[in-house]
Amino acid sequence: MNYRSNRDKELEDLKVLWEEYKYRHDLCWRIIFQITTAFVVLSVIPYVQTNVVRGLRNWVIAMPMLGILLVLFSLLVTLNELRIFYKVKTKYREIQSEKYGINHGRNWYIFTWFVVFYFLGMLAVGVINVYSIRQMWIPYIERTAEKNE
């Protein structure tokens, strides 16, 4: 009976660890998808709302710049979540290896690099977008507004 209760406790601990693992992994993906959506929306507003560009002029770049700040903040939040995620993942995989002989190798942190490069790519696109809006799009909208008057 003692063996059974120890085995049940181990299984319960493994289930709790698995739920935490799934939660952290899902949270990281949700952050990525939600921030990407918000970033894209904030980035394209100057292109689809030309009346806003005419009214705000250079202030219209505040929206894509907000997208850049959102990406930076989200990168920090996601890195913190990934730190917690990898603690859980490491423990879960240790148990898998010890109890079940499942060895996943040592490339556990590759997801973090993918996430960092993805966010850095969004940052680069955001900076290029702000520059393009300021240097090309705003002057273009102003020229077309003058022609139509």
**What SS3 string covers 120-141?**
HHHHHHHHHHHHHHHHHHHHHH
Tally of structural domains, the chain: 1
* Residue pair 88/17 in contact by the 8 Å Cβ criterion: yes
The stretch 23-33 carries a mean pLDDT of 94
Per-residue model confidence (pLDDT) at position 2: 63
Note the pLDDT tens digit of each residue in 66-120.
Answer: 999 999 999 999 999 999 988 888 888 888 788 778 887 776 678 889 999 999 9
Residue 27: which domain range? Answer: 2-148
pLDDT value at residue 107: 67
Share of the chain above pLDDT 70, in %: 95
Q: What letter would DSSP give residue 69?
A: H
Q: Which of 54, 66, 60, 63 minimizes the C-alpha distance to 134?
A: 60
CA quadruple 103, 81, 28, 75: dihedral, nearest 10? -120
CA atoms of 127 and 131, how far apart (whole Å): 6
Phi, psi of 104, rounded to the nearest 5 degrees = -95, 0
Distance CA 148, CA 112 (A): 51
Per-residue confidence (pLDDT) for residue 14, from 0 to 100:
82
